[in-house]
Amino acid sequence: MPRIALLQLTAHTEPTENIAKTEKAIRQAASEGAQIICTQELFTTEYFCITQDTDNFDLADPIPGPLTENHQALAKELGVVIVASGFEKRATGLYHNTAWVIDADGSYLGHYRKMHIPQDPGFEEKFYFTPGDKGYKSWDTQFGKIGVLICWDQWYPEAARLTALAGAEILIYPTAIGWLPEEKEQLGEAQHNAWQAVQCGHAVANSCYVVAINRTGTEGETEFWGQSFISNHYGQVIAKAPVHEEQILTAELDLDALEQHRRIWPFFRDRRIDSYSDITKRFVD
């Protein structure tokens, strides 16, 4: 049974500080037995999407590039799978919110570009990110079949389903989500409940593990709600981090039990694919 670790951390202004801090946490997680180690969304930076500022494009990195090469060396040294999320500069004027997967032998398996891009006060992502164009993928790592989606993708069952249909046993969601002060008192509990519940639903509907790695701390007016969690294929939360504290959250994933579960709850077998054509329409009038 592979052990997974979620790195719920605060972020600092300087990318170099965040990179060093995350590497330290990766090493600690590996020393404690983790075999799959996952960062929060945009782990190299503070959540710069709070405002629209063209200077923030300077924070982007080529992917693959020096950042991913460092993770390749680290993964090989420690014998762990690394799943990380950063700000990709694909070309001048073309940027993505991107996650990459490094296998335990240091090989670069590939990357995923966030498909669903939100636009809300304090989450000005359409200003920065071009929607992904690499589709929904699964990577067969030394410790399990992994699919990666990013934050706003969490709310879309289609994304979870297609990633599971590509073979994923574990859906990993690097995340940056929190409360705005004018909303927290009235809606804060409901917002968090919806976020956790919809992802646990993906775990049930796709007979897979779901993990969400959120940041913690306050940046600008946004209070990130932490509470990174791991759900099993029954939608049960088997590990959960606190709101306001950094934590390396770990759990063992019983992939043999998942295999048996899929045999007796055969959701993929019973899908009526002949009846779903309208799902590709924007709206059914």
108-113 and 144-148 beta bridge pairing: unpaired
Element housing 88 (H / E): strand 81-91
One-letter amino acid for residue 162 of the chain: L
Residue whose C-alpha is closest to residue 253's, from 171, 183, 135, 161: 171
β-pairing verdict for 94-102 and 247-252: unpaired
Contact by Cβ (8 Å): 5, 29: yes
Which uninterrupted H or E stretch holds 172?
Answer: strand 170-174
> Which positions are catalytic?
41, 114, 151
- Spatial separation of the C-alpha atoms in residues 266 and 200, rounded to whole Å: 18
Q: Please give the Cα distance from 71 to 108 (Å, whole number).
A: 9
Half-sphere exposure of 222 (CA within 13 A, CB side): 23
Instruction: Tell me the chain's radius of gyration from C-alpha atoms.
Output: 18
What are the C-alpha distances in Å from 139 to residues 7, 155, 191? 21, 22, 31
Token pair in block for residue 170 = 């574990």
Pairing of strands 229-231, 237-240: antiparallel
Q: What are the residue ranges of helices labelled H in 122-273?
A: 125-128, 157-165, 181-206, 255-264
- Cα–Cα distance, 210 to 72 (Å, whole number): 24
